Every structure is written in C-alpha cells, then in structure tokens.
Structure 1
Amino acid sequence: MRITLKSKRPIDISMGHRINIENWDTERQRVNSAERKANDINGEIEKWKSSANEVFIRYGVLEHREPSPDEFKQLFNDEIGRKLVFEESNEIQGIISVESAFDEYINSVGVQNSWSPSSYKKNETVKKHFVSSLNGKSFLHIDTDVLHEFIQYLLKKGLRNTTVAKDYQFVRWFLSWARRKGYYNGRADEDFRPRLKGTDGNQKEIIYLSLDELKQLESFQIPVTKKHLYHVRDVFLFCCYTSLRYSDVKKLNKSDIQGNKFRVVTQKTADAIIIDLNKKAIDILDRYKGVKGRLALPVISNQKYNQYLKELGRLAGLNTETQVVYYKGGRRYDEYYPKYELLTSHVARRTFVVTALQLGIPVEVIIRWTGHSNYDALKPYVAIVDTLKRSEMDKFDQL
C-alpha cells in the first residue's frame, strides 16, 4: 500500500503478502478470486484503507491540516494495532539496510558458490554503485523507478551498455536472494527489464582466430630472442583445441589427464566436465611430460599472459583489421584495431567454438565440452559461422 501526502515522499507499507501478479486487478486494486486467501487479503486491504482514511479525517477535523509523515505513521499504527511497519531509516531495529544485506549476500553466496577473487571484486563494485544510486533508500522503496535510476546512474558514469546490463543482472540476483531471505518483498527486479542497445545476445562482439590465422600462429617461427613466447603460444593453442578457460588451464594437473581425455571442474561454474583430447592438444601436453611438478602446462599470470599474447600476435602478423562496435546509452561507437591488439586469454575459447562449428561438429556435442548451459549461449557463434558459409559460397561466383 502506498500513501502519498502533499509535497511529501510517498509512504510505502508492506502488508507482508505475496501473490501472483496475474491475480492482481489493477483497476479494482484488489486480489482476484483465483488467488488463494484472496478474501483475507482483500479484507485486510479494506481495513488498512479505512484506517488510513481515519487518520486523515482526524487531522482534518481536529487540526484542519494533513498529518506529517511521522504523525501519519504513529496514528496509523495505533489504528491497525501493530508495531511499526515502516522503514524511515536504516537504523530501525529489526530492519536490515540494503548495504548490509548485500554484504551478507556476498559473504554467504560467495562461499556457497565458490566464487573466484574476481567475482568477489565484481560484486563489491556493483554493491558500491547500487547503494550509491539508492541515496539512502531502503528495500521498501525499491521499485521499477528506483531500478531505472540505477541504470541511468551507471550510464552517466560512461559505462558501456554491455557492462550496464551485466551489472543490473548482478543486482537482480541480489534482490532475488534478498526476497528469499525475507528482506525484500517487492518484485521490481522481475518487472523491470531495460532494453539497452547492443546487449542482444546475437549482437555480442566475438573476437576469434580464423582457421587461417590459427594455422599462421601455429607455424610461426618464434625468434630465439623471444623464448618467453614459446610457452605462451603452447598454452593459447591448447585452449584453442580444448575450449579451456584461462582459470581452468592454469590449474590443470597431469593427474587430470587420462589417456585421450581429461576431467576438469570449472572454476567459473563449478561444473565437472570431461573433454576429449585431439592430436594437436596431445602433442602440446607431451612437450611438458618430463617437466617437474604436478601442473600439466607452464601458465603464467593472466596479466602477463595477455600482454605476451599481443606481442606474439604482432610478431606472427595477425594484423587483420577488426571492428569493435559498442554502445553507451543510445550512441553507437565504432573502433578498429589490428587483430593482435584484441588478443586475450578468452579468444582461445571463442576460437574453439567457432572452429568446431565450422568443422560441422553438432552444437549438442560442443556444449558438452565447453560447459555452456544451453544452445542460446552459442547463438552468436552460430551466426558467425552462417556468415562465413555465405562468404565461402560466394567463391563459386568467381568460377
């Protein structure tokens, strides 16, 4: 229930009931009969509405004015005969602040889902932005307008739409958790789905190496003065041939490898998957069989790895001009880079997916190797392969 006083911030009252949104009659402002306990809830709505009107009547007749928010709260609570149901500040006993709840969420869910350090850091950043955008508002005030304000807050910081969309998803996960804990009774996170340009899954920017570029990198003769790039190339190519993420190849043990396959529990999703090894991947592993230690490959820090990948790509001549398109709000940005400047550890995983699709391997098989949850996650890759098929067919026009 929401009470609006002249020139005052609306007062929200949580009645403590949850119903299916389809069973709410907006015009009548009542629960439809299809909802269980509809009569009880509607009766309580009538009682609360009557109590609210009684407060206004008393102040109107006796003092010829509207009550202040604090006066309204006190008399309304007396009318319905229960303890304080409002949250005016985050210091009210028994009411948890959004920031405290977010801290609890990070600590409990992080342990439960075995978050990586980067996941903790990302959630801390999102918490900081969300709490700042609320400007002191509590859970009782979080509605679609408040979530819209959060989106605008992020956009004003100059973040790309893709980043804004990801940050909002983090907030949605948090609010869903808060609802299960009983901290948040609203449904704004389910109702509010912002449409941001460039965030459609099919428009996802995917940087990958073509088959020709993969062969070019593989056959490139690394100068003897650049020995540090040998291991970097081996690790990168191994990921190109197996779909492994950097976080997983870094902790791959020799004991994980059983013949022509290996088992890995992914750090990002904690899923256990079995990946078959092809000849190229086995050849790379064989180079390090005699190296002391339990790790299968010599993986350096992610920062150095990405730095050296760009150096390797430049020396190998991966200079194809590559367009990067992104949006900030409604404005589109087009930037162009030589391919080597865009090389990162994740390019290997994307290269694996595109190559596998080009080779005609069924999507159902690919997701068993990559650990993707469903076909939708691979739609952007399928779109790339469809485009490549079109360009290849055009070669017949040159006959």
Structure 2
Amino acid sequence: MNTDFHTLFHLLTSKTNSKGLAPIYMRLTVAKKRLEYSITRRIDPKRWNSKQQKVIGKDRDAIEINNHINNLKHKLYKIHQQKIDEDDRITAISLMNALKGGGKKSKYLLEIFLDHNNRTDTLAGKDISLSTAKRYWTCYDHVKQFIEEEYKQEDLRLRDIDNRFIVKFEFFLKTVRKCNHNSALKYINNLKKIIRIALANQWMDIDPFYNYKVQYETVEREFLNTEEVDALYYKELHVDRLRLVRDMFIFSCYTGLAYSDVAKLTKSDIVIGLDGGKWIRIKRTKTNTLSSIPLLPIAEEIIERYSDHPEVKINNHIIPVLSNQKSNAFLKEIAIMCGIEKPLTTHLARHTFATTITLTNGVPIESVSKMLGHKSLRTTQHYAKIVDRKVSEDMSVLREKLNNKSIKKQK
C-alpha cells in the first residue's frame, strides 16, 4: 500500500471576505484520499502564485505566510517519517490529526508514575500499607535520577522504554544507589506495575519486561533460639524504656505480629475463640489479610502487665510502644546486655515466632501460615526455616522406631 502523501496549497475564492481576502487551504492526499485544512491565513488572490503555491512579494505578510506554509510542510514530513519508524498506520486523517495536535499524545514515564503515587497516597493506610506507598515514592526518585543521569532528560517517553532500559536501571540501582540484589528487584517490581498500567491503557505497544526474569536470592532469616528468648525475657532491666521495648519484642515473639500490627492493636482485637481462650484477630497492616492467633501465656502476661499503663488507658491499646526507630536502637542496647550477638530488630521477633516458638515445637506450617496472615504457604516457608534441633528430634524419634523394629525382628 502506497503511504506517500502530497500537499497542495490553494485559495478558496468562494469564501473571499468583504475585504477581498481569500482563505488559504492545504489539500492533503494519501492513497487517493483527500482532506482539506485551513491554514488560518488570508491573502489577496492577485498576490497568490498558484504554480509555486506561495504569496508573491517580500513584504512582512508575504514572508510570514510563506514561512507558515513551509513550516506545515516540514511538520508533515517529520510526522510522516515518525509513523514510518514506528510502523504506524499512515492515512490522511492520521497525518492531519497529528498535525493539528489531535493525534495520540506521547505519554511519559515519570508523569504516569507521579499520578500513580498520588493516587496510592490516598489509599495509604486503607487498601495498602504506608510503607508500600512510601516505597513507590523511593522508586520514583530512583527512576528520576536514572533518567537524568543516563538519558540527560527530565522525563522519558513510554515508547522509548525497552528491555535495555530495565537492564540498565537494575545496574544503576546496584551500583549508584548501592541496593543489594533483592532490594533492587523489589524496586524493579514497583516499576513493573507502572509499566503494566501503561500497557493496560495502550500507551505502550511492547512490554519491556518481556523475557526479563526476576530471580530473588535466598536470604537466611535470623531468629532467636529458645535460650536467647529466655535470656531476654528473664533479664533484669532497670530502665523503663528498655523494659518496654523488651516486653514489646517478647510479645511479638509469642504472637508473630509485626511492629506496625502491635502498635495498632486494641482491646477490641482480643476475642474469645472456639476453644474458649483468648485470641487476637487483626487485619495485617502490610497485606490486609486476617491473622488469627491464640494468646499464649507469656503474651497474656505482658498484656496484663501493662493494663494500668496511662497510654493503654487513654488510647485503648493493648501495650504501649515506642517508635520503630527508637525500638530498634534500644534493642541493640538490650542485645549487648544479654550477650546476644545477633542484630536485634522488631521484625526479628516475627521470624522467631515462626521458627523457634511454633515450628520447632511441632506446630504445623499450615497453622503457622494462618497465624502470620500469609497469603501463601510459600511465604511462610521463606520466613520460617525449621532449625536443626527440630530435625534432630524428629530423626531421633524415627531412629528409635527403627531400632525397636530391628530388635523385635531379632527376637
């Protein structure tokens, strides 16, 4: 199919006005299809050279109109070449729409990213966690810096984003931003959501993530063993702030709740379960999934310990908590006092619940997954690794059974 275009600039004398000036029109032809377009200029028909398709003379009006005609030709050639490069359909209508600004406007990555993040902020604390919303803004900053440094531009058209962009961005995150492998891939996934939005809205034709594989590295999760948990629990602490943080940490060890969930836990989240005992029922801040956790004696004891605390009475909370930043700082002090060399953080308590408190004591992984509020068993397996002691105990039971069977056979 012939996609060449032809233009003809001519006067429409039938529309000559009272001053004797006729409008100049451009006739655009593609594959024998014609469109007429007013260039919003008028001239005395006596001054029009129909053969050269321009105004006669070198006065200001003649120069301005002739320059305008040349600019329109130049724009059309540029639009035509762009459509050829993009393998886009070329018609008289598509060329005219693009010339008039009515064609498909280019969308830009940071523009779409910014709109997404603003919308996400309105859902923060409702449909998504505050930390997730914050992470998208961090990713936005990384992408912005990457575009400025790699492409020397303020923003980048979506159509210019390809697989090479993704690969280079991953390298940028690991080298310039000093992200570890898994952190870099998490930011890549944040970007992937923005690309999915663009593809769904048909702002992009090709998925730059096609054939790009995300492979997270296995991370060995730290957790406390039974002796370390006991060392923390029984340690005499004479500073209120340290006792408070220690008790909050132990409470998390025996409930599996993340810091954000402990911080928002109220009395209404404590219910009577089917077994007649007290249970915690709470929607997790991070995933909005329901966690159902029977209260173990030590967790109940900690709740009772702070029942008369002013903050508990005023805010209806279960236990008072300090900020996550302060809690982590104080936990490092407590670890030194208890002779624990592992890097204590509030989230380490959740890992400890999954591994030392539950799985090591024979709680099925399916039950642990439900208590942790995980959406899939795979996530639980990632968090909770059965310690060697549990494997040793299980194998000892098997060994004893096999020995007994061997003895009976000998008899």
Q: Report the TM-score, using the length of structure 1 for normalisation.
A: 0.68
What RMSD, in angstroms, separates the aligned Cα atoms of the two structures? 3.3
Q: Distance in 2 between matches of 1:185 and 1:317?
A: 58
| 1:128 aligned onto 2:141 | yes
Structure 1 pair 152/254, CA: closer, same or farther in 2 (3 Å)? Answer: same
How far apart, CA to CA, are the structure 2 residues paired with 1:85 and 1:99? 29
Report the CA distance between 1:390 and its aligned residue: 5.1
Instruction: Point out the structure with max Rg over C-alpha.
Output: 2
Show the counterpart of 1:183. Answer: 203
Q: 1:176, 1:189 within 8 Å by CA — same for their partners in 2? A: no
- Which residue of the other structure, out of 365, 368, 371, is the alignment partner of 1:369? 371
Mapping for residues 284-303 of structure 1, pairs under 5 Å: 284-291=302-309, 292-293=313-314, 294-303=316-325
Corresponding letter in the other structure for 2:157: S
Residue deviations 1:22-56 (CA, integer Å, cap 9, x gap)? xxxxxxxxxxxxxxxxxxxxxxxxx5xx649xxxx
Supply the distance in 2 between the matched residues of 1:69 and 1:151 (Cα, whole angstroms).
34
The alignment partner of 1:131 has SS state of helix
Residue 66 of structure 2 is matched in structure 1 by: none
Q: What is the DSSP-based 3-state SS (H/G/I as helix, E as strand, rest coil) of the residue aligned with 1:121?
A: helix
CA distance in 2, matches of 1:86, 1:149: 35
Q: Which amino acid aligns with 2:327?
A: Y
Deviation digits for residues 188-239 of structure 1 (CA, Å, limit 9, x no counterpart): 22431155xxx33xx21311111111111111111x2x22211111111111
Q: 1:112 to 1:68 in 2, by over 3 A?
A: same
What count of residue pairs does the alignment treat as equivalent? 304
State the alpha-carbon separation in 2 of the partners of residues 151 and 242 from structure 1.
37
Secondary structure of 1:261's aligned partner: strand
Aligned to 1:108: 119
Q: How does 1:125-204 map to 2 (within 5 A)?
A: 125-134=138-147, 135=151, 136-157=155-176, 158-195=178-215, 199-200=216-217, 203-204=218-219
Over 3 Å counting, the alpha-carbon distance change for 1:194 and 1:377 in structure 2 is: closer
Q: Distance in 1 between matches of 2:350 and 2:228?
A: 15
- Identify if the C-alpha distance between structure 1 residues 387 and 169 changes in structure 2 by more than 3 Å, giving closer, same or farther: farther
Q: Is structure 2 residue 332 aligned with structure 1 residue 304?
A: no
Partner of residue 313, structure 1 = 335
Note the C-alpha offset of 1:242. 0.5
Match of 1:264 in 2: 282
Output the CA distance in 1 between the equivalents of 2:389 and 2:77. 67
Query: Which whole-Å CA distance do the structure 2 matches of 1:239 and 1:309 have between them?
Result: 13
> 1-side partners of 2:97 and 2:182: how far apart?
36
State the partner residue of 1:73.
Answer: 82
Structure 1 counterpart of 2:250, which letter?
L
User: Unaligned regions of 5+ residues in structure 2, if any?
Assistant: 5-75, 273-277, 400-411
Instruction: Percent identity, please.
Output: 26
Q: Distance in 1 between matches of 2:96 and 2:337?
A: 67
Work out the CA distance in 1 between the residues paired with 2:105 and 2:194.
Answer: 20
Tell whether the 8 Å contact from 1:261 to 1:277 is kept in structure 2 after alignment.
yes
Partners of 2:317 and 2:283 in 1: CA distance: 15
User: Any residues of structure 2 matched to 1:1-399 within 5 Å, and which?
Assistant: 51=3, 72-73=81-82, 79-83=90-94, 94-112=105-123, 114=126, 115-134=128-147, 135=151, 136-157=155-176, 158-195=178-215, 199-200=216-217, 203-222=218-237, 224=238, 226-259=239-272, 260-291=278-309, 292-293=313-314, 294-318=316-340, 338-339=341-342, 342-355=343-356, 356-382=358-384, 384-385=385-386, 387-389=388-390
Q: Secondary structure at the match of 1:385?
A: coil
What is the letter of the counterpart of residue 238 of structure 1? F
| More moved, 152-161 vs 232-241 | 152-161
Distance apart, 1:169 and its partner CA: 1.2
- Per-residue CA deviations over 1:330-372 (Å, capped at 9, x if unaligned) read xxxxxxxx31xx1111001011011211111111111111011
CA distance in 2, matches of 1:159, 1:85: 48
| Alignment-derived partner of residue 16 in structure 1 | none
SS for the counterpart of 2:264 is coil
When normalised by structure 2's length, the TM-score is 0.66
How far apart are 1:392 and its partner, in Å?
Answer: 6.3
| 2-structure distance, mates of 1:393, 1:192 | 42
Kept in 2: contact 1:142–1:186 (CA 8 A): no
Q: CA deviation at 1:154?
A: 1.1
Q: CA deviation at 1:255?
A: 2.2
Paired residue for 1:335? none
Offset from partner CA, 1:300-323 (integer Å, 9 cap, x none): 1111111111111111111xxxxx
Secondary structure, counterpart of 1:206 in structure 2: coil
Gaps of 5+ in 1: 1-46, 53-66, 319-337
Shift of 1:84: 5.9
CA–CA distance in structure 1, aligned partners of residues 172 and 211 of structure 2: 19
- State the alpha-carbon separation in 1 of the partners of residues 96 and 369 from structure 2: 49
Q: Given that residues 98 and 131 in structure 1 are in contact (C-alpha distance below 8 angstroms), is that contact kept between their aligned partners in structure 2?
A: no
